[in-house]
Structure 1
Amino acid sequence: MRRKLLLLFMSAIALQAEAQQRPAPFQQGDRVVFVGNSITDGGHYHSYIWLYYMTHFPGRRITCFNAGIGGDVITQIYERFDADVLSKKPTVLTLTWGMNDTGYFEWYRADGKDTMQKKLQRSYDSYAKVEAILKKRSDIKKVFIGTSPYDDAAKFNNKNIFPHKTDALTEVVTFQEQAAKRNGWAFVDFYRPMMAINQREQQKDSTFSLTPNDRIHPDNDGHMVMAYLFLKAQGLAGQPVASMRVDAASKKVQEAANCKITGVTGSASGISFSYLAQSLPYPLDTVPRGWGNHKKQSDAMEIVPFMKEFNQEILQVSGLKAGSYNLLMDGEKVGTYDAGQLAAGINLAENTRTPEYQQAIQVRELNEERWDIERRLRMYAWIEFDFLKPRGMLFKDDNAAMDSVNVYAPKDWAVAGNRDNFSRARYKAVREAWQGEMNVLTDKIYQINQPKLHTITIAAAR
């Protein structure tokens, strides 16, 4: 009996520890700052996460910030922590690092392992400084993220293969997970699940990779997998957009989850009712976004069960006579189904012609505009923190700073790539205008994302 009680107690402790490692869902008014390197800087995972909240929780307004800078190691993140991270006044802070800390061409050196071990120790020492800052900020919820993986196994080419980098990255992710656990902070693992997906898919196609361009940076489908893993870690899987069951013969509403159904009329030959959901469907992008990317966000649906777990808007109508039926919403035909399909249930979130999906597309496009403008500000941040700061010119933004950028641009592709943007962003009025545009876009999103009352009609097809 005592042993049984001890096992139950230990099990309860383990469950509590696991729960402490999970990030809580974002709440009204949260300011979520995503801190990282180029995977955060130029990537979409945080934007995809925010799009889920914009559509699934239209009344729960949050703000998400990109605080990634390409090429950064944790030392550089520490050096900009006050000016670039805490200045955004986060209530929630996510932190990921390690891809650059674990090196690249250093692994080809004869003393590569020793060199990298010393480099990693410097990273751990810098992390300790970040941790000391975070320990003092009890007002901020912390979420550590184990980075997306480096893929040296895919056979799409023979470039960017760095021996032992995966081993080092595994060590860093384990270190991060233990650091989060030690402090009682949340941890989300992108690394191991994404490696498992790569391994699974490479059994079928040796060229498959979630980082198909350079083995390092996820494409849009990879970023959607990251968003899926984050939302799942928050415990949000299984929450429907809406679920409705209506019996046509009796005109009875049998279920109305996350929605309201009123004014049911009709018979076994057809039915009509008013429908007001509390969420919008998640509008998957079918266009490759971002520089150098070739995959679409929607491609991730072939890899993870996002639709099943996060994007279910089920319409189920029983009691209809056998036959084919047109589905109309607000008088417009959006599809044709037979009585058996309607009795089994159809997922309206898969139908891009519905008025609520069309509404959600507008939210997505406005969010993409916001993301694009924010990228300009992150390009400006790269010049400031990774180029001007080491030269003692942080936030000078004067002619001397521009001259320095112009001098180095021909020698450094990263400086060259950010030069044109900096020539505009160095003016405060321009940056304020960009921020103002993002504010307008976000305000507009939270105006148009409010669900609307629709009329659903199911009528016999002729």
Structure 2
Amino acid sequence: MQTVRRLSLCCGLLILWNASGAFSAEPRRVDRLDLQDGDTIVFLGDSITHQSLFTQYVEDFFYTRLPGLRIRIHNSGVGGAKASDALQRFDRDVAAYKPKYVAVLLGMNDGGVKPYDDELFQTYRRDMNRIADRIVEIGATPIWMTPTMYDATAARASGRPVPAERTEFYNATLAYYGAWLREFAGTRGGAFVDLYGPLNELTHQARRDQADFTMIKDAVHPDAPGQLVMAAAFLEDLQFAKPLSNIRITVGSQAPVVRATGGVATEVTGTGDELSFLWEADGLPWAPPPETEAGIRLLNLGHRWTREALEVHGLDPGQYDLLIDGEPVGRFSAEQLARHVELQSNPRTPQYQQAVQVAELNRKRNDTAIRPLRNEWRDFQAARRVEAGLAFQPDNEKLKAQLATLQKSLIGIEERIAAHETLASEIDNEIRKVNRPLPRKYELKKHVPAEVSVRIREGGRPLMNALVQLHGLLGVMAEARTDGTGDCLLQTQSGSDLDPGDYWLVIKPGPRMELAAADMFSQMVTVRSGRNEFELQLETCLKSQ
């Protein structure tokens, strides 16, 4: 037990000076983050953080769900790092950014990728305590994140030679590290995030249907779906996981009644068969990129983390078209709307498209600025390791040559880091221009199927057996042949309703026919809800009645 040398009261905190010469504050457990405009979170880690994926997805969430706050995330991951390596770069790569929170993800390399080794663990334990001391010294709050999963099944399936003891024991070693870290967080203070549990649980859940399922193809570095699981675990354990919005409106004989969370509904008008209102949301849906789809599905992410619900009561029975800013986004029955419909993953809503734009810009920011910045630190880490080796072998010429090469590569590193940070800031400013929700006009209109009839005359006589088609973006949407009177009623090929919109009306001559005016005629027409009648005189032009 360390001896207390001095006791003082400073700024309301009990500060202890211990025998190791480090300050330590009375531990304070944190269950949620108190984020304010301008706050910085540093993610300190190894190659799993260096991948710049789970940090990117957390950024996407903050950009879309907290659009009014400028939260800065600094990625401080370096491939191959152990806790001792993180200490080497702490001043420049952590403290220099004046973080409010430091999220620490270390342990994958510290355990040696082998069965439990107590000497390695005690080194990890010592260095994690030193990291905790440094975080307290700079006035930040730690967020302790468990090491992730070692996927032994993926390792065995890779075809590469892997020691049997590694596949049998290393995931259990990481479980031990994580269990210790939970206790460590309780004694040293800060927040705790379990990454190990969700990755293992969801992987084994998926393997009930697909025996070789993995989110970690190389056994160590989570792929995009696994990185999304990590981001979701971080957000859930720190209590960010909650619905985006819920709009509940009741229409009837009197004025509509509105109850809403996550935004404000105004200009609400409606009856039993229509509804219109202006919606100003507090945030945008979280829209992870397509490559995370397996993670989205396993997490039920849209419903649990970013649900955007619309619930309408009192509508007359029937089908209703939902339009946002005049664009159709879906068709729902009155019964579905009374239960509620969820829009957060609907690619046709303008807010989802806006969220995708934010995510694509942030992907560009991480690909072109953040990941290259992290690459700069690999040579720094390598140089510090070689220096440590030379301290024990000062006459080792090979190590001296390696250090000289590494030191040469470090020339200009500050300028390169500054250039990467400037680019990241420029793209961040672009994101800030498009991440604020815009007022959206919602309209529910009772669906009236479009019906299209065509009458064709050539030289005043009915044109019989001609093939009449409506062409849309997806090809032929409806067609029919004219009868003996030159008339036809177009039918969709699937038997479903024809949606209103702009189409090409195409007329082709029937078999064994001579068409004097042309071999084929086409013209753009606008089809509206309800009955549409078009009459074509081939000598003149097409007109709508």
Aligning the two structures, in what range does the TM-score lie when normalised by the shorter sequence? 0.7 to 0.9
Deviation of 1:36 (Å): 0.6
After the TM superposition, which residues 58-207 of structure 1 pair with which residues of structure 2 at under 5 Å, given as runs? Answer: 58-104=67-113, 107=114, 116-137=117-138, 139-154=139-154, 156-157=157-158, 159=160, 160=162, 162=166, 163-207=168-212
* Corresponding residue number in structure 2 for 1:39: 48
Paired residues of 2:248 and 2:312 also in contact (CA < 8 A): yes
Paired residues of 1:276 and 1:452 also in contact (CA < 8 A): yes
Deviation of 1:325 (Å): 1.6
Task: State the distance in 2 between where 1:195 and 1:43 align.
Answer: 21
After the TM superposition, which residues 354-393 of structure 1 pair with which residues of structure 2 at under 5 Å, given as runs? Answer: 354-372=349-367, 373-387=369-383, 390=386
The one of 247, 251, 275 equivalent to 1:248 is 251
Using CA pairs below 8 Å that are at least 6 residues apart, which structure has the higher relative contact order? Answer: 1
Secondary structure in 2 matching 1:83? helix
Pick closer, same or farther for the CA change 1:140–1:388 going to 2, 3 Å. Answer: closer
Are positions 1:444 and 2:444 aligned together? Answer: no
Give per-residue Cα distances to partners, 1:33-55, cap 9 Å, x unaligned.
Answer: 00010001114112111211111
Task: State the distance in 1 between where 2:88 and 2:402 align.
Answer: 21
Paired residues of 1:274 and 1:456 also in contact (CA < 8 A): yes
Task: State the distance in 2 between where 1:29 and 1:175 align.
Answer: 33
Pick closer, same or farther for the CA change 1:126–1:28 going to 2, 3 Å. Answer: same
Are positions 1:300 and 2:303 aligned together? Answer: no
Alignment TM-score, normalising by the size of structure 2: 0.69
Give per-residue Cα distances to partners, 1:268-317, cap 9 Å, x unaligned.
Answer: 1211111111111111211xxxxxxxxx2232122113222211111112
Pick closer, same or farther for the CA change 1:117–1:280 going to 2, 3 Å. Answer: same
Q: Which amino acid aligns with 2:265?
A: I
Task: State the distance in 1 between where 2:351 and 2:198 align.
Answer: 32
Paired residues of 1:283 and 1:361 also in contact (CA < 8 A): yes
Are positions 1:434 and 2:443 aligned together? Answer: no
Task: State the distance in 2 between where 1:204 and 1:33 align.
Answer: 38
Are positions 1:219 and 2:223 aligned together? Answer: yes
Task: State the distance in 2 between where 1:125 and 1:141 align.
Answer: 19
After the TM superposition, which residues 412-423 of structure 1 pair with which residues of structure 2 at under 5 Å, given as runs? Answer: none
Task: State the distance in 1 between where 2:422 and 2:240 align.
Answer: 32
Deviation of 1:148 (Å): 1.1
Deviation of 1:381 (Å): 1.1
Give per-residue Cα distances to partners, 1:172-198, cap 9 Å, x unaligned.
Answer: 222222221111221111112322222
Task: State the distance in 2 between where 1:68 and 1:284 align.
Answer: 21
Q: Which amino acid aligns with 2:91?
A: D
Paired residues of 2:287 and 2:359 also in contact (CA < 8 A): yes
Deviation of 1:334 (Å): 1.6
Paired residues of 2:29 and 2:185 also in contact (CA < 8 A): no
The one of 256, 259, 264 equivalent to 1:260 is 264
Secondary structure in 1 matching 2:299? coil
Q: Which amino acid aligns with 1:26?
A: L
Secondary structure in 2 matching 1:164? helix
Pick closer, same or farther for the CA change 1:236–1:131 going to 2, 3 Å. Answer: closer
Task: State the distance in 1 between where 2:33 and 2:97 align.
Answer: 20
| Aligned-CA RMSD value | 2.7
Q: Which amino acid aligns with 1:208?
A: F
Paired residues of 2:287 and 2:355 also in contact (CA < 8 A): yes
Task: State the distance in 1 between where 2:341 and 2:326 align.
Answer: 19
Pick closer, same or farther for the CA change 1:429–1:270 going to 2, 3 Å. Answer: same
* Corresponding residue number in structure 2 for 1:7: none
**Number of residue-to-residue matches in the alignment:** 403
Alignment TM-score, normalising by the size of structure 1: 0.80
Paired residues of 1:144 and 1:188 also in contact (CA < 8 A): yes
Deviation of 1:322 (Å): 1.6
Secondary structure in 1 matching 2:219? coil
Are positions 1:51 and 2:70 aligned together? Answer: no
Ranges in structure 2 where 5+ consecutive residues have no aligned partner:
1-26, 389-400, 449-545
More strand by share: 2
Give per-residue Cα distances to partners, 1:90-126, cap 9 Å, x unaligned.
Answer: 111011111111113xx4xxxx76xx33233222232
Instruction: Spell out structure 1 runs of 4+ moving beyond 6 A.
Output: 403-408
Secondary structure in 2 matching 1:350? coil
Paired residues of 2:312 and 2:338 also in contact (CA < 8 A): yes
Pick closer, same or farther for the CA change 1:326–1:98 going to 2, 3 Å. Answer: same
Q: Which amino acid aligns with 1:91?
A: K
* Corresponding residue number in structure 1 for 2:316: 321
* Corresponding residue number in structure 2 for 1:26: 35
% identical equivalent positions: 27
More helix by share: 1
Paired residues of 1:25 and 1:234 also in contact (CA < 8 A): no
Give per-residue Cα distances to partners, 1:316-356, cap 9 Å, x unaligned.
Answer: 12222222221111111122222222222111112111111
Task: State the distance in 1 between where 2:308 and 2:273 align.
Answer: 23
Q: Which amino acid aligns with 2:440?
A: H
Paired residues of 1:22 and 1:188 also in contact (CA < 8 A): no
Ranges in structure 1 where 5+ consecutive residues have no aligned partner:
1-17, 287-295, 393-402, 409-418
Paired residues of 1:43 and 1:223 also in contact (CA < 8 A): no
Task: State the distance in 2 between where 1:188 and 1:429 align.
Answer: 35
Task: State the distance in 2 between where 1:376 and 1:441 align.
Answer: 15
The one of 281, 289, 295 equivalent to 1:285 is 289
